[in-house]
Amino acid sequence: MPELPEVETTLRGIRPHLLGARIAKLVVRERRLRWPIAAGLETRVRGCTVTAMQRRGKYLLLHLDRGALVMHLGMTGSFRVLPAAVPARVHDHYDLVTERGRMVRYRDPRRFGCLLWCAGDPMRHPRIRGLGVEPLGEEFDGQCLRRAAAGRHLAVKSFLMDSRVVVGVGNIYASEALFAAAIHPRRGCHRISGARYQLLADAVRTTLSAAIGHGGSTIRDFAAADGLPGYFEQELKVYGRAGRACTRCGRTIRRMVIGQRSTFYCPGCQR
């Protein structure tokens, strides 16, 4: 489900309910996520106030007055804001219940997400520290991509999805951005000019921004914190469109596999 736009949509959905709120309790029903939820986390979190919330890549950081929570949605994670009394269903792994009588409930069928405790600054957490630039931040441009690509030998699509380079570009938006920049996904990342990298950086930025504007994509089961789906799906130009006509040149969109991930591109537009 979630790439950067979906995580950003999620953050915007849960922020009004958590920011400044006191956590009455954390209820954990399933500790076996990507990493086990730490024993005793319930005790640490109880009574804490949420002082700040931010997204870093696809991670959500919840700053508390004492410590922080580092969360990830994995492939199928999602949060819902609900009244505190709503009964849990399968795959509802934990709830953050506030003293306002509401809760933020985490659901994740595949359990690839995580809920980690961080005693200090979450930006220095091992999972966060090594992350690359934010694609919607000021430092992200063609130059920083080209610099990062120097001396590396891999397909540009895999390069773009490397979170040490730039965060938040997942499988859907990597295909989409490469189409927008007219770059073939299998092209070696070291064989792309500065000018084309600038086009690519712009494409990443506009694609992600547009997706956020539409509330994300709802390919399978993604829903925002209010339960509403995203609508960016309808805007996708290549992802999931193998066999259909390219909206730009009319040739048939193809699917191929790069790094074990489905990749979609237009053989006419992308070089």
Partner DNA sequence: CAACGGACCTGCCTGC
Partner DNA sequence: TGCAGGCAGGTCCGTT
Q: Report in angstroms how near the CB of residue 173 gets to DNA at its nearest.
A: 8
Q: Among 13-21, 94-102, 164-172, 244-252, which window interacts with DNA (CB under 7 A)?
A: 164-172
Residue 115 to residue 17: CA distance in whole angstroms: 18
C-alpha torsion sign, points 32, 35, 38, 39: positive
110 contacts DNA (rule: CB under 7 A): yes
Q: What is the layout of strands, in order, in the sheet containing 23-28?
A: 23-28, 92-98, 102-107, 78-83
Residue 110 to residue 223: CA distance in whole angstroms: 16
Q: Report in angstroms how near the CB of residue 46 gets to DNA at its nearest.
A: 27
Per CB under 7 A, contacts with DNA among 2-31 are 2-3, 6
Q: Report in angstroms how near the CB of residue 20 gets to DNA at its nearest.
A: 27
Of the listed 2, 122, 135, 185, which one is catalytic?
2
Is 261 among the catalytic positions? Answer: yes
Per CB under 7 A, contacts with DNA among 186-245 are 216-222
Q: Which residues contact 45 (CB under 8 A, 6 or more apart)?
A: 23, 25, 26, 64, 67, 69, 96
Residue 97 to residue 249: CA distance in whole angstroms: 52
93 contacts DNA (rule: CB under 7 A): no
Q: Which is nearer to DNA, 89 or 250 (CB)?
A: 89
Q: Report in angstroms how near the CB of residue 231 gets to DNA at its nearest.
A: 12
Q: Which is nearer to DNA, 97 or 131 (CB)?
A: 131
Q: What phi, psi does 196 have (nearest 5°)?
A: -70, -35
Q: Report in angstroms how near the CB of residue 26 gets to DNA at its nearest.
A: 22
Of the listed 55, 58, 80, 157, which one is catalytic?
58
Is 135 among the catalytic positions? Answer: no
The binder of DNA chosen from 69, 81, 160, 172 (CB under 7 A): 172
Is 235 among the catalytic positions? Answer: no
Binding site for DNA (CB under 7 A): 1-3, 6, 32, 34, 57-59, 72, 74-75, 90-91, 109-112, 127, 151-155, 158, 161, 163, 170-172, 216-222, 259-262
Q: Which residues are catalytic?
A: 2-3, 58, 261
